[in-house]
């Protein structure tokens, strides 16, 4: 089976400013990876390469063995279906009810007719309900999404990915706006889900202790370059200090 991701000499520039510089990286299926590093190190850019929102300025990105630019639109959609992303700001549609935001994870599989019907008469409610139960908010099924707190919205975003049932879960600073207790819960939830459902997980985090506790591989990024790529127990404190040094 092809690895989940394979990056070869990848660079990304935003209007001349380099965000990622000559990155080569392979991520295997089933790995739980944390991207760590200071703000502006290129973590978000890397995640956007992995879910196909961005194309590299140079180099190649293989997602589940395919390079997106070579694919037709429908093939590209089927790759997207295999990758679920949880965004830092959730990117939910505020004035839809929770059920519809969760069902948005189904859209890659549903026909347009079925997705329209679902807006009036919600489809596959059981599945959405059980996903919400897994993230701990089963009672919010019919609430309007913008009535939820930040932590609850984050859970809806995770439930959306659960319903999508992708091979890979990407999470961009999923705990950035949460308090320590909820951060721990969410990280544990993501790691457990990845482990029990055999998903590949790539998550970017600021707090290195959460990364160490829940992931089996840490990639340190600084100024668009990989500084280290290690199992957590083999990372020296000095390497971490160097990563975040001002």
Partner 1 sequence: MKSLEKFAPSHPQKTRILPRTKRWGWWLLLGIATVFSFVQIAGDGRRLINSGGWTLFWRFWRAALRPDLTSEFLEITLQAVGVTLSYAAFGTFLALAVGFAGGIVLSERWWEGVENHYRGRGRQKGFEFRMARTLLRVLLAVPRGIHELIWGLILLNILGLDPLTAVLAIAIPFGAITAKVFAELLDETVPAAFLTLINSGTRPGSALFYTLVPQTITDLLAYGFYRFECAVRSAAVLGIIGAGGLGYQILLSLQSLRYNQLWTLFFALCLLSGAIDLWSGLVRQQMRDGKAEKSSSGGGVGKKGSRLGISLWAAAALIPWSFYFLQPQLSLLWSPRTSMLIGQIGRESFPPRLPDGGVMVLFDLAGQTLAMSVMAALLAAAIGIFFSVPAARLSITLSGYPQALSQPVFVVSRIILLFMRAIPAPIWALVLLFILFPGILPGAIALALYNGGVLGRLMAEVNENQDLRPLLALQTHGASWGQVVFYGIFPAGWLRYLAYALYRWEIAIRATVIVGLVGAGGLGRLLTQQVSAFDYRRLPFTLLFYIGLTLIVDLMSGWVRRMMR
Give the binding site for partner 1 (CB under 8 A). Answer: 14, 19, 40, 44-45, 48, 51-54, 73-74, 76-78, 80-81, 83-85, 87-89, 91-96, 100, 104-105, 107-110, 112, 115-116, 119, 144, 146-147, 160, 164, 172
Nearer to partner 1, 96 or 239 (CB): 96
Nearer to partner 1, 92 or 219 (CB): 92
Classify residue 146 as exposed, middle or buried by CB count within 10 Å of its CB (0-12, 13-18, 19+). Answer: exposed
CB 163 to partner 1: min, Å: 9
- Reduced to 3 states, what is the DSSP secondary structure of residue 112? helix
| Tokens encoding 233 | 């127990």
Classify residue 98 as exposed, middle or buried by CB count within 10 Å of its CB (0-12, 13-18, 19+). Answer: buried
Nearer to partner 1, 90 or 210 (CB): 90
CB 131 to partner 1: min, Å: 13
CB 24 to partner 1: min, Å: 21
- In the beta sheet, which residues pair with residue 129? none
Nearer to partner 1, 106 or 235 (CB): 106
Q: Which of 244, 240, 223, 242 is nearest to 11 (CA)?
A: 223
Nearer to partner 1, 31 or 172 (CB): 172
Q: Are 86 and 193 in contact (CB under 8 A)?
A: no
CB 95 to partner 1: min, Å: 6
Q: What is the 8-class DSSP label of residue 189?
A: H
70 CB neighbour count, 10 Å cutoff: 9
CB 242 to partner 1: min, Å: 23
150 CB neighbour count, 10 Å cutoff: 14
């Amino acid at each position: 089976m092809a690895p989940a991701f394979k990056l070869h000499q990848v660079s990304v520039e935003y209007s001349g400013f380099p965000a990622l510089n000559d990155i080569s990286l392979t991520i295997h299926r089933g790995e739980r990876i944390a991207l760590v590093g200071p703000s502006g190190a290129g973590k978000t850019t890397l995640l956007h390469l992995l879910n196909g929102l961005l194309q590299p300025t140079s180099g190649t990105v293989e997602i589940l063995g395919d390079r997106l630019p070579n694919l037709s639109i429908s093939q590209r959609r089927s790759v997207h279906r295999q990758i679920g992303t949880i965004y830092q700001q959730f990117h939910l549609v505020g004035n839809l009810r929770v059920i519809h935001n969760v069902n948005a994870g189904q859209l890659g599989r549903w026909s347009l007719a079925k997705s329209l019907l679902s807006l009036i008469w919600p489809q596959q409610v059981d599945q959405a309900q059980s996903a919400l139960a897994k993230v701990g908010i089963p009672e919010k099924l019919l609430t309007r999404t913008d009535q939820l707190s930040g932590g609850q919205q984050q859970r809806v975003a995770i439930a959306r990915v659960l319903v999508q049932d992708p091979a890979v879960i990407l999470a961009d600073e999923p705990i950035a706006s949460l308090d320590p207790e909820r951060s721990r819960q969410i990280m544990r939830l993501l790691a457990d889900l990845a482990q029990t459902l055999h998903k590949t997980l790539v998550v970017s985090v600021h707090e290195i202790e959460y990364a160490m506790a829940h992931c089996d591989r840490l990639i340190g990024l600084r100024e668009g370059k990989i500084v280290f790529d290690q199992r957590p127990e083999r990372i020296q404190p000095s390497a971490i200090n160097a990563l975040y040094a001002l």
